[in-house]
Amino acid sequence: MKKTMRFALLASTVLASAAQAEDVTLTIESWRNDDLSIWQDTIIPAFEAANPGIKVVFAPSAPAEYNAVLNSKLDAGSAGDLITCRPFDASLELYNKGQLADLSGLASMANFSDVAKSAWQTDDGAATFCVPMASVIHGFIFNADAFAELGIEVPKTEAEFFAALDKIKADGTYIPMAMGTNDQWEAATMGYQNIGPNYWKGEEGRKALIAGTQKLTDEAWVAPYRQLAKWKDYLGDGFEAQTYPDSQNLFTLGRAAIYPAGSWEISGFNAQAGFKMGAFPPPVPAVGDDCYISDHTDIALGMNAKTAHPDAAKVFLDWVGSPEFATLYANALPGFFSLNSTPVEMEDPLAKEFVGWRETCKPTIRSTYQILSRGTPNLENETWNASANVIKGTETPEDAAKRLQDGLASWYAPQK
Amino acid sequence: MAQRKHVRWHIAVFLAPAVLVYTALMIVPLFGTLNLSLFNLDETKTRVFAGLANFATLFGDPRWSGAFWNALANNAWFFVVHMLVQNPVGILLAALLSSPRLRFSAFYRTAIFIPTILSFVIVGFVWKLILSPIWGIAPGMLDAVGLKSLFAPWLGKEEYALTTLALISVWQFVGIPMMLIYAALLSIPDEVIEAAEMDGVTGWSQFWKIKLPLILPSIGIISILTFVGNFNAFDLIYVAQGALAGPNFATDILGTFLYRTFFGFQLQLGDPHMGATIATAMFGIILVGVCFYLFAIQTRLRRYQF
């Protein structure tokens, strides 16, 4: 009896492992640990139902450590089959080292425009190595109840924007704007890169900077810093030590009226805030000016060149490039807007508002991301520091711009 | 005696496990790092021997050297705060605890030692919350005693942030010098104390004249442990202020500078060669400090045999 039992056990183990061997398991590396449940409950089941035999595991790490962790894993050969791609140089470097596979031949690549793919291509555009997933749009989210209570109209120009802030401040019920400088990146990303495109005219200025025909000390690039310097008076007490989660909580608890935002906040804010929210694009300098928005290509998915299951990984990537995935993803994560050429019908009103600006304003990507952050000092990191300093008032807009320009000119030939 | 002294194999055998483990885990990586700092990438991204060029960049290029000296100066201040606050307070607490008249001394000892075993993540998070201008209890407590005007967002101000973090670190680790000194104080024989009392040396004068000279070697050990610990520090700053060590690099110490350089940060790609160069410089600084202690101070400390 005992012997049969043992034999049965042994047989079942062998059989079980044989059955498992038929299934290919793909692991996804990602920094989006906030999205774990969406991948597990919505996206992966949809894929697995359509593709029996391929199992997918979503294995994210903390956003701040992602790049360091991923690089170590790739060097050690222990990284997952699918790699979530940061835009531009971080991923380009991985491709150049032979750690990301060339995906130019993938059928679903035809679903994306050149602009959408630009963040994950070689400089000459010959090879594309990640399937674009989503972009994020900057703007301002406001407490609509507070605006109604104080009788404030949604500001369209800079003058109206500061008039609204003055009115909120004079009333005193709400902190006019929820932002802190402790974590620095908010000042640069939600501050400088948010309002800046209106001054440097989006793609026009960004490309001129790369070509070397404009400088960071030009008026178009200093003007956003002059605006930021004025924000100081409208931030909460002790904003110098206010962190990013502090700002989010201040806004969702209804203590602040305006939140300089990225669209990725939408799903979190919908869950947390107990009041009506609205959004407006960065105000233009004067009535009638063209408006520009930052519609930043932010996230894509690539394939580990050393994966043991390249065919299964390509099946998954092809699906990620399909309109079906775009609809699933964009609606599961309102605020991460699909880059797919097929328009996605959004259900969330706030997300609809953000994505609607694509029709009225000209989109651009963040100015520091392409090419300009390749050297030392790193322009993006310096911009964080400069923006935080300007808001705190410890550096003048002109000094900050000069420091950035000197740093860029020290290694970037077209700016010398 | 024709027979020669035979080789004593057992010494090598008994030493082998420790030597092998230590070599594999400490010595090989150390020399690997030193070696890495002598290489760099050329135009075609192949690794070439660069000699001391990386060090020339680190100390010669105004940007690199500016960041390095800033980190070193901050690190030195971090160490000074520990030496001026942590160790004297530790000695004081140990002296109080070893007083035979103190009740509940086991409770105090445990309570003061507990922060030492907490994770940096918890300590950093808890103190950030306590000091937060929005949710923190620090503004409220100051308000309750009418000193609200003294409150500032300390962690966000360039002039206070580093000192604040150093004091948080002191709060966390004051238990270590306290325990070491406490043990040293307990090991002083009663005969010595009794003899002092016979000669009329009691109270504070007994502490200064009898006990302090006897615990000096322990204080020396604590100082060197503090030095090595502080110059290798990284965790608390990273947890509280992030890898950019804000505000405006006011809290950047060698550890965070090394981390940013070696692993990269956001759009900045990691540079293992310059990272290794900084690591080598840190190793050199700590080596010089430890040697200074071993040869200039420890050899002059008088030891007392009981």
What integer pLDDT is reported at residue A85 of this predicted model?
Answer: 94
Which residues of chain A neighbour B132 with C-beta distances below 8 Å?
Answer: 238, 241-242, 246
pLDDT in tens, A318-350: 999 999 999 999 888 888 999 888 888 888 999
β-pair partners for A302: A83, A130
In a domain, A360, yes or no: no
Whether A219 has a pLDDT exceeding 50, the answer reads yes
B259 contact partners, CB below 8 Å, separation of at least 6: B234, B238, B243, B265
A393 contact partners, CB below 8 Å, separation of at least 6: A229, A232
Q: Which of A68, A250, A389 sits opposite B270 (nearest CB)?
A: A68
pLDDT in tens, A224-242: 999 999 999 999 989 999 9
Q: Which of A239, A378, A388 sits opposite B267 (nearest CB)?
A: A378
What integer pLDDT is reported at residue A18 of this predicted model?
Answer: 45
Task: Judge if A303 and A334 occupy the same domain.
Answer: yes
Task: Judge if A143 and A246 occupy the same domain.
Answer: yes
Q: A27-31, A377-381, A409-413, B146-150: which has the minimum mean pLDDT? A: B146-150
- Interface test with chain A among B132, B160, B267, by most A beta carbons within 10 Å: B267
What integer pLDDT is reported at residue A67 of this predicted model?
Answer: 84
Q: What whole-number distance in Å separates Cα of residue A177 and Cα of residue A164?
A: 11
Integer CA distances (angstroms), B237 to A316, A325, B114, B129, B295, in order: 40, 41, 21, 15, 32
For chain B, the structural domain boundaries read 60-300
CATH class, domain B60-300, is: mainly alpha
pLDDT in tens, B136-170: 899 889 988 988 888 889 999 999 999 999 999 99
The distance of A130 to chain B (nearest Cα, Å) reads 17
What is the number of domains present in chain A? 2
Task: Judge if A313 and A371 occupy the same domain.
Answer: no
Rounded to the nearest 10°, the torsion over CA B184, B188, B190, B194 is -120
Task: Judge if A153 and A287 occupy the same domain.
Answer: yes
Q: Find the length of chain A.
A: 416
pLDDT in tens, A107-135: 999 999 887 888 999 888 889 999 999 99
Task: Judge if A190 and A288 occupy the same domain.
Answer: yes
Q: Which residues, numbered 90 to 119 in chain B, qualify as contacts with chain A under a Cβ-Cβ cut-off of 8 Å? A: none
- The CATH number for A374's domain is 3.40.190.10
Backbone angles phi, psi at B212, to 5 degrees: -60, -45
B293 contact partners, CB below 8 Å, separation of at least 6: B220, B223, B224, B227
pLDDT in tens, B116-140: 999 999 999 999 999 998 888 998 8
Q: What's the distance, Cα to Cα, between the start and end of chain A in Å?
A: 85
Joined together, the tokens standing for residue A295 give: 């519609």
What integer pLDDT is reported at residue A15 of this predicted model?
Answer: 47
Q: Contact A376/A360 with Cβ under 8 angstroms? A: no
B124 contact partners, CB below 8 Å, separation of at least 6: B168, B235, B236, B239, B240
Task: Judge if A288 and A376 occupy the same domain.
Answer: yes
The 3-state DSSP class for residue A112 equals strand
pTM of the model: 0.84
Integer CA distances (angstroms), A8 to A2, A18, A21, A240, B295, in order: 10, 15, 20, 67, 71
Which residues of chain A neighbour B124 with C-beta distances below 8 Å?
Answer: none
Task: Judge if A28 and A106 occupy the same domain.
Answer: yes
Q: Which of B266, B267, B270 sits opposite A71 (nearest CB)?
A: B270
Q: Which of B63, B156, B246 sits opposite A377 (nearest CB)?
A: B63
The distance of B215 to chain A (nearest Cα, Å) reads 41
Which residues of chain B neighbour A379 with C-beta distances below 8 Å?
Answer: 267
What residue ranges in A361-405 does DSSP mark as E strands?
A: 362-364
Q: How confident is the model at residue A12 (pLDDT cuts 50, 70, 90)?
A: low
Q: Which residue has the tokens 């580990």?
A: A304
Half-sphere CA count of B57, side-chain side, radius 13 A: 16
> Is B269's CB within 8 Å of A90's CB?
yes
Q: Contact A97/A53 with Cβ under 8 angstroms? A: no
Give the domain extent around A150.
137-295+365-415
